[in-house]
Amino acid sequence: MKTSFKECKCGYCVDGSDYAGFPSVWRIAEDKLWIEIPKNGSAFMKHHFKVPFFPGIINDKVTRNDYDTSEIPWVIVRDPIERFSSMIRHYTWGSRNNYLRQIYSGDISNVNALIDSFIEKCNTLGSTVEGHHFHPQCYFVRDLEFKSINVVHLKDAGKVFYPEISIDKVSDYHLNRSNGEGKIKFNEDQIKRIKEKYSEDYEFFGKVFS
């Protein structure tokens, strides 16, 4: 059974805002398109190419949603379990921790309860906590009309994708790792529930996560 996720209308998501909503297809080179999916190395990509997603950052060589559907864009995906762990850390110890108490009110040292709260609420989080971060990855791709897409797993991006866009130094591979690395460990029941919540991703992207 597919899980319904609450629509997010935060400043990143609303069409007409500075960011202008999703889906976001960035032309990062004359012949290279990249589809943005939050929490999949997107902060690294946007900072590296100086994508104008913050006020005052301008890169005239990068355009948004300027493409032909005959082109073949790149998209970086991430195992939903790994991505969910990253989101918990991002909202607990990272740059979105100011939203934590809208998701979990207990002691963060009780990591098991913390995880359970995120699993229970992830599909009900809306605009006030930038809930689009929790949306399934397929939500950012499925409405696009490209005939084909180059899908690469985040763990393989350094070998497969980054060289394609002239990122060739190991020192350049920065994936915006959240604080709390190693603190989130899921039990079998939690993994099962996460997979159920994000079943659409496993169906949409198929064997990429196997």
Alpha carbon of 25 to those of 39, 106, 145: distances in Å?
Answer: 16, 38, 12
pLDDT at 173: 47
Phi, psi values for residue 126, rounded to 5°: -115, -145
Q: Is residue 182 part of a domain?
A: yes
Give the range of the structural domain holding residue 156, as residue numbers without chain letter: 25-209
pLDDT digits (tens, 9 = 90+) for 24-71: 898 888 888 999 999 998 888 877 777 655 545 556 667 778 899 999
Q: Is residue 75 part of a domain?
A: yes
Q: Is residue 14 part of a domain?
A: no
Q: Is residue 68 part of a domain?
A: yes
- Torsion sign over Cα 194, 20, 34, 149: positive
Q: Which of 115, 86, 108, 100 is nearest to 176 (CA)?
A: 86
- Residue range 93-103: mean pLDDT, rounded: 93
Q: Is residue 13 part of a domain?
A: no
Q: Per the structure block, which two tokens stand in for 110?
A: 């009780």
- 61 near 183, Cβ under 8 Å? no
pLDDT at 162: 79
Model pTM score:
0.88
Q: Is residue 11 part of a domain?
A: no
Q: How many domains does the chain have?
A: 1
pLDDT at 36: 92
pLDDT digits (tens, 9 = 90+) for 6-18: 999 888 887 655 5
- 198 near 81, Cβ under 8 Å? no
- For residues 186 and 40, give the distance between their C-alpha atoms in angstroms, rounded to a whole number: 20
Alpha carbon of 133 to those of 2, 5, 14, 108, 149: distances in Å?
Answer: 18, 11, 14, 20, 22
174-190: b (≥16 Cβ within 10 Å) or e: ebbebebeebbebeeeb
- For residues 34 and 32, give the distance between their C-alpha atoms in angstroms, rounded to a whole number: 7
pLDDT digits (tens, 9 = 90+) for 75-91: 999 999 999 999 999 99
pLDDT at 177: 58
Whether 137 shows a pLDDT value over 70: the answer reads: yes
pLDDT digits (tens, 9 = 90+) for 158-194: 788 877 777 655 444 455 555 667 889 999 999 999 9
Q: Is residue 8 part of a domain?
A: no
pLDDT at 22: 85
Q: Is residue 7 part of a domain?
A: no
DSSP state of 49: T
